[in-house]
Amino acid sequence: MWQFDKNVASSFDSHARQHIPNYDTVIDKSLDVCELYGKSAKIIDVGCAIGETLIRLHNRGFTNLHGVDNSQSMLDKCPHSIASLTCSETLPEGLYDVIIINWTLHFIKDKKKYLQNVFDKLNPNGVVIISDKTSLDPLAIGMYHDYKRAKGVSEEEIKQKQESIKNVMFIDDIEYYFSILKFTGFSKVHIIDSYWCFTTFVCIKR
């Protein structure tokens, strides 16, 4: 079964770029959204992992940074001096201008409940950025696996990963996201990136 343990934490940097299409592009786009709220915006990265996004936000001059992850092994690799870090599977208390949930919500079974909490903890005009795997369609999965092959992932590893994430990742399609995001109360939902199986949504609370 897939786990974000010490092993994964030590190789996550390269693992992410081999397994997550548009990894760097999506982070850059997320930072561009943060810029709309100014350098002192209160930003939390949910599933901050080893801190890639927090580091880039810090390097761009953002000062009010927070991260949450439910894996202590991942957080141990995250630089503690640039953000307040919490090990938890729920969103820490507080009100935020920007909540980033890149490649993490699909590990949470009750997305509706998590998103309601996100909505409640956003300031008016706040924004949540969500990137998730949004398809299990065989054609899309085939194209996604071609992406992994092109990045040097072996057939064996592709197969093993596919097995290990069963019952760990909870995949829903784009229509489901639109419906629960609207139901939760987000007035505007934009898609700012997509690749076979993956979608990035920007949702604004008005």
Ligand X SMILES: C[S@@+](CC[C@H](N)C(=O)[O-])C[C@H]1O[C@@H](n2cnc3c(N)ncnc32)[C@H](O)[C@@H]1O
Q: Of 100, 105, 103, 71, which Cα lies nearest the Cα of 87? A: 71
160 or 187: CB nearest ligand X: 160
Instruction: Give me the least distance between CB of 26 and ligand X, in Å please.
Output: 8
Q: Running DSSP on this structure, what letter comes out for residue 92?
A: P
Site for ligand X in 62-91 (CB under 6 A): 68-71, 74, 89
Which residue in the set 16, 34, 57, 128 belongs to the binding site for ligand X (CB under 6 A)? Answer: 16
Q: Tell me if 199 contacts ligand X by CB under 6 A.
A: no
Q: Tell me if 46 contacts ligand X by CB under 6 A.
A: yes
Distance of CA 181 to the CA centre of its chain: 16
65 or 108: CB nearest ligand X: 108
Q: Tell me if 54 contacts ligand X by CB under 6 A.
A: no
57 or 68: CB nearest ligand X: 68
Site for ligand X in 157-196 (CB under 6 A): none
Instruction: Give me the least distance between CB of 206 and ligand X, in Å please.
Output: 26
Where are the extended beta strands (E) located within 70-144?
A: 84-87, 96-102, 122-133
Q: Tell me if 115 contacts ligand X by CB under 6 A.
A: no
Residues in a beta bridge with 67? 45, 85
Q: Tell me if 33 contacts ligand X by CB under 6 A.
A: no
Q: Tell me if 118 contacts ligand X by CB under 6 A.
A: no
CA angle centred on 153, ends 150 and 159, rounded to 5°? 120
Site for ligand X in 91-110 (CB under 6 A): 102-104, 107-108
* Residue that has been written with the tokens 């993956």 in this structure: 198
Q: Collapsing DSSP states into helix, strand and coil, what is residue 186?
A: coil
Whether the Cβ atoms of residue 51 and residue 79 lie closer than 8 Å to each other: yes
Q: How is 38-62 classified by DSSP, letter by letter? A: -TT-EEEEET-TTSHHHHHHHHTT-
> Under the rule (CB under 6 A), what is the footprint of ligand X?
4, 16, 27, 46-47, 49, 52-53, 68-71, 74, 89, 102-104, 107-108
